[in-house]
Amino acid sequence: MKRVILPPRSNWQKQHNDIGFDYYNLPSRDGSMYWSEGVAYEFTFKQIEQLEDASNQLHQMCLSIVEDLIQRGNYPNYFELPQSAIPLIEETWKSKSPMLYGRFDFAYDGHTIKMLEYNADTPTGLLEASVAQWHWLEQVETIKNRDQFNSIHEALIARWKLLYQPQTTVHFSACQSAGREDWGNLEYLMDTAFQAGLNVSELSMQNIGWDGLNFVDLNDETIQHIFKLYPWEWIWQEQFSQYIQPHIQWIEPCWKMLLSNKAILIELWKRFPNHPLLLESHAYDSTENYSGKWVRKPILAREGANIHILQNSKDCGEASGSFYFKDYDQHGYVVQRWADTPLYEGRLPTLGLWMVGDECAGMSLREDVFDIIGNDAHFAAHYFIE
């Protein structure tokens, strides 16, 4: 695993805009932009196989925990699940409501893989992982015998075809006030569904209506299948959640609430203690003595928010690269042992391994000079050599 510097491509900004990746230049704290043109990470084929196998194994481990929790009907308090959500969690699991995609975040030093978390409900960074970095690979001429772990685009189209019959209408929705990154990811997923032969329709979560029998869009068309780039825990706080019924197919399905919650890290460690792919994790207890270095994470948070570093139980404050968002402090926390991975040219990389259905379909990478890969960390392309 190496960090390499390569010549920037000509006209690369226009190429990003042409595919809808018009948020490539979002500002980062160091004054540069989100997409790091000319920066890439090199892997060997053996390393890619190792990462792919780890992702598939961890996914199955996670599913086994969901199966066990639902069979027992016993949801630990530290998940803080709303009671109104439990019937739909159980119904969607027992009816085998399918998933579309998700992303594992890994710490990796070229040898040892450690799972940081599973972004199983609303992961973003998909367009740049799937299309933008593939275009980069095709246009780099100075690397011989190169390839990329990236079949995400093809896998998504195939997955849509498996989920729905041709011409099925699927609505796509996100928060009206969400930034361009969310809507760019949503529009990309709409495009993959369209390429799979489906009819697609876009609306904001705020514009989902109720006609007394069904959810409807702005044209009063019934919503039967809906992809939402909007967390399930927020949905259950909405007034319309009282009308949610099992016959409406949501993607991701409601059982994903058990995977997208960082409390799954606690369950993984309980079920598979000292597993080489896992970091020791527990429900946070301020009276406990945590020897060594740990991170404290909210069970429901995104993009590195509200993360604190603990050293021998002392709160050392917010981790560098993290940011504070009040809503994420409303629930509990997990503590996870610190993953001590090397810096590459002064930067800390975190790997994103993308699941489409039950198979790993590709990888992306973000890096920064901070302890935590936060919401403005840089995206860097990757390749591997035979």
pLDDT tens digits, one per residue of 204-255: 999 999 999 999 999 999 999 999 999 999 999 999 999 998 889 999 999 9
The CA-based angle 321-323-327, given to 5 degrees, is: 150
303 pLDDT higher than 80: no
pLDDT band for position 302 (cuts 50, 70, 90): confident
* Helical spans, DSSP H, in the chain: 12-18, 45-72, 86-94, 126-127, 133-139, 152-163, 180-195, 232-235, 257-260, 263-271
The predicted pLDDT at position 155 comes to: 98
The predicted pLDDT at position 32 comes to: 87
Q: Tell me the average pLDDT of the chain.
A: 94
The dihedral through the CA atoms of 96, 195, 101, 384 has a sign that is positive
54 pLDDT higher than 70: yes
pLDDT band for position 325 (cuts 50, 70, 90): low
The predicted pLDDT at position 370 comes to: 87
Instruction: Tell me, letter by letter, the H, E, C secondary structure of 180-247.
Output: HHHHHHHHHHHHHHHHCCCEEEEEEHHHCEECCCCEECCCCCECCEEEEECCHHHHCCCHHHHHCCCC
Cis peptide upstream of residue 252 (ω within 30 degrees of 0):
yes
* Helical spans, DSSP H, in 73-114: 86-94
179 pLDDT higher than 90: no
Report how far residue 34's alpha carbon sits from residue 190's, in angstroms, rounded to the nearest whole number. Answer: 23
pLDDT band for position 378 (cuts 50, 70, 90): very high
320 pLDDT higher than 90: no
Q: Is 152 helix (H, G, I), strand (E, B) or coil?
A: helix
- Tokens representing 259 are 């995977």
pTM: 0.96
Report how far residue 197's alpha carbon sits from residue 157's, in angstroms, rounded to the nearest whole number. Answer: 9
Q: How do residues 89-136 score in pLDDT, each as one tens digit? A: 999 999 999 999 999 999 999 999 999 999 999 999 999 999 999 999
Among 161-165, 284-288, 368-372, the range of highest mean pLDDT: 161-165
Task: Summarize the confidence of residues 10-33 as an average pLDDT.
Answer: 92
The predicted pLDDT at position 329 comes to: 76
pLDDT band for position 305 (cuts 50, 70, 90): confident
Instruction: Give residues with Cβ within 8 angstroms of 177, minimum separation 6.
Output: none
The predicted pLDDT at position 255 comes to: 98
Alpha carbon dihedral 108, 33, 156, 194, in 10-degree steps, equals 180
Q: Is the pLDDT higher at 315 or at 186?
A: 186
The predicted pLDDT at position 226 comes to: 98
Q: Among residues 385, 386, 354, which one has the least CA distance to residue 150?
A: 354
Percent of the chain's residues with pLDDT above 70? 99
The predicted pLDDT at position 376 comes to: 82
